[in-house]
A and B are shown apart, each in its own frame.
Chain A
Amino acid sequence: MSTAIKDTQQMIEEVLSAYPEKAKKDRAKHLAANDPTGQCSTCQVKSNVKSRPGVMTVRGCAYAGAKGVVWGPVKDQITVSHGPIGCGQYSWWARRNYYNGQTGVNTFGTMHITTDFQEKDIVYGGDKGLDAALHELKELFPLAKGIGILSECPVGLIGDDIEAVSKKVAKEFSIPIVPVRCEGFRGVSQSLGHHIANDTIKDYVLGKGKVEKSTAYDVALIGDYNIGGDAWASRKMLEEMGLRVIAQWTGDASVNELGIAHKAKLNLIHCYRSMNYICRHMEEEYGIPWVEFNFFGPTKIYQSIRKIASYFDDKIKENAEKVIEKYKPIMDAVIEQYMPRLEGKKVMLYVGGLRPRHTIGAYEDLGMEVVAAGYEFGHNDDYKRTYPEMKEGAVIMDDATLYELEEFTRRLKPDMVGSGIKEKYSYHKMGVPFRQMHSWDYSGPYHGFDGFPVFARDMDMTVNSPTWDLIRRKRN
Chain B
Amino acid sequence: MRVKDHNELFQEREYLEQFERKKEFENCPSDGEIQRIAEWTKTEEYKEKNFARQNIKINPAKACQPLGAIFCAAGFEGTMPFVQGAQGCVAYFRSHLNRHFKEPMVAVSTSMTEDAAVFGGLNNMLEGLENAYTLYHPKMLAVSTTCMAEVIGDDLNAYIRTAREKGLIPKELPVPFAHTPSFVGSYINGYDNMMKGILSSITSGKKGEPNEKINIIHGFDTYTGNYRELKRLLAIMDIKYTILADVSDIFDSPNTGEYKLYPGGTPLADAMVSINSAATIVLQKYSTVKTMDYIQKEWSQQVLVLPPIGVKNTDAFFDEVSKITGKPIPQEIEDERGRAVDAMIDSHPYIHGKRFALVGDPDHLLGLISFLMEMGGIPVHIVCTNGDKKFEEEMNSLLSESPFGAEGKVYVGKDMWHLRSLMFTDPVDLLIGNSYAKFLWRDTGTPLIRIGFPLFDRHHLHRYPIIGYQGVLNLVNWVVNTILDELDRKTINTTSFDVIR
Contacts and interface: CB of A to CB of B under 8 A. Distances in A.
A112 B58 contact: yes
Nearest to A259: B27
B88 A60 contact: yes
Given A83-B147, A104-B443, A158-B151, A18 B110 contact: no
A472 B439 CA distance: 40
A142 B131 contact: no
Given A76-B26, A235-B18, A114 B91 contact: no
Interface stretch (A36-44, A182-190, A309-317): A182-190
A396 B22 CA distance: 40
Contacts of A250: none
A187 B186 CA distance: 27
A190 B3 CA distance: 34
Interface string A126-168: 0001101100110110110100000011101110000000000
Given A59-B88, A142-B37, A471-B257, A76 B439 contact: no
Interface in A363-400: none
Contact of A153 (B15, B147, B260): B147
B82 interface: yes
Nearest to B457: A442
Contact of B148 (A114, A154, A187, A236): A154
A106 B28 contact: yes
Given A18-B135, A139-B49, A54 B127 contact: yes
A232 interface: yes
Interface string A28-62: 00000000000000000000001111111111111
B18 A236 contact: yes
Interface stretch (A2-10, A91-99, A272-280, A282-290): A91-99
B108 A76 contact: no
Nearest to B39: A105
A294 interface: no
Interface string B229-261: 000000000000000000000000101111110
Contacts of A255: 27
B106 A402 contact: yes
Nearest to A252: B22
B109 interface: yes
A122 B66 CA distance: 17
B183 A112 contact: no
Given A140-B53, A422-B94, A454-B5, A86 B67 contact: yes
B161 interface: no
Given A19-B134, A106-B29, A229 B112 contact: no
Contacts of B99: 94, 421
Interface in B151-195: 151-152, 181-184, 186
A41 to B, nearest CB: 28
Contacts, number: 346
Contacts of A426: 104, 259
Contacts of B420: 104
Interface in B98-123: 98-99, 102-114, 116-117
Interface string A217-253: 0000000000011001101100100000111100010
Interface stretch (A199-207, A298-306, A443-451): A443-451
B34 A445 contact: no
B111 A425 contact: no
A255 B135 CA distance: 46
A450 B92 contact: no
B255 A429 contact: yes
B27 A157 contact: no
A422 B98 contact: yes
A292 interface: no
B113 A185 contact: yes
Nearest to A131: B55
A121 B183 contact: yes
A210 B27 contact: yes
Contacts of B33: 143
Contacts of B218: none
B499 interface: no
Contact of A54 (B57, B82, B183): B82
Nearest to B10: A229
Interface in B24-81: 24-29, 33-34, 37-38, 41, 46, 49-50, 52-60, 62-64, 66-67
Given A86-B64, A185-B116, A422-B98, A132 B54 contact: yes
| Residue of A58, A61, A104 with highest tally of chain B CB at under 10 A | A61
A101 B148 CA distance: 36
B425 interface: no
B55 A229 contact: no
Nearest to B92: A90
Contacts of A415: none
B128 interface: yes
B127 A53 contact: yes
A291 interface: no
A422 to B, nearest CB: 5
B96 interface: yes
Contacts of B116: 185
B403 to A, nearest CB: 36
A84 B257 contact: no
B110 A471 contact: no
Contact of B151 (A62, A87, A153, A403): A153
Nearest to A220: B25
Contacts of B24: 212
Interface string A303-334: 00000000000000000000000000000011
A18 to B, nearest CB: 6
Contact of A152 (B9, B14, B50, B147): B147
A229 B18 CA distance: 12
Given A185-B112, A186-B113, A133 B148 contact: no
Given A20-B130, A254-B27, A473-B256, A85 B63 contact: yes
Contact of A229 (B1, B9, B132, B259): B9
A80 interface: yes
B340 to A, nearest CB: 33
A216 interface: no
Contacts of A422: 91, 94-95, 98, 104-105
Given A62-B88, A453-B1, A256 B27 contact: yes
B210 to A, nearest CB: 39
A57 B107 CA distance: 10
B467 interface: no
Given A54-B129, A89-B62, A106 B37 contact: yes
B93 interface: yes
Contact of A254 (B5, B28, B46, B183): B28
B424 to A, nearest CB: 11
A438 B147 CA distance: 27
| Residue of A58, A92, A256 with highest tally of chain B CB at under 10 A | A92
B325 interface: no
A383 to B, nearest CB: 21
Given A129-B55, A185-B117, A429-B258, A89 B88 contact: no
A143 B28 CA distance: 9
A142 B95 CA distance: 34
Given A185-B116, A254-B25, 7 more contacts: A90-B93, A112-B436, A132-B54, A184-B86, A228-B5, A232-B10, A239-B18
27 contacts: A20-B135, A23-B131, A53-B112, A53-B125, A54-B130, A56-B135, A86-B63, A89-B96, A98-B6, A101-B28, A104-B443, A105-B37, A117-B183, A122-B183, A133-B53, A133-B55, A136-B52, A140-B53, A156-B117, A157-B152, A185-B113, A186-B114, A334-B1, A422-B91, A428-B104, A457-B3, A474-B256
Q: Which 6 A-B pairs have the closest CB atoms?
A: A61-B88, A86-B64, A54-B128, A53-B128, A90-B92, A54-B131
Interface of B: 1, 3-6, 9-10, 14-15, 18-19, 21-22, 24-29, 33-34, 37-38, 41, 46, 49-50, 52-60, 62-64, 66-67, 82, 85-89, 91-96, 98-99, 102-114, 116-117, 124-125, 127-136, 146-148, 151-152, 181-184, 186, 253, 255-260, 417, 420, 436, 439, 443
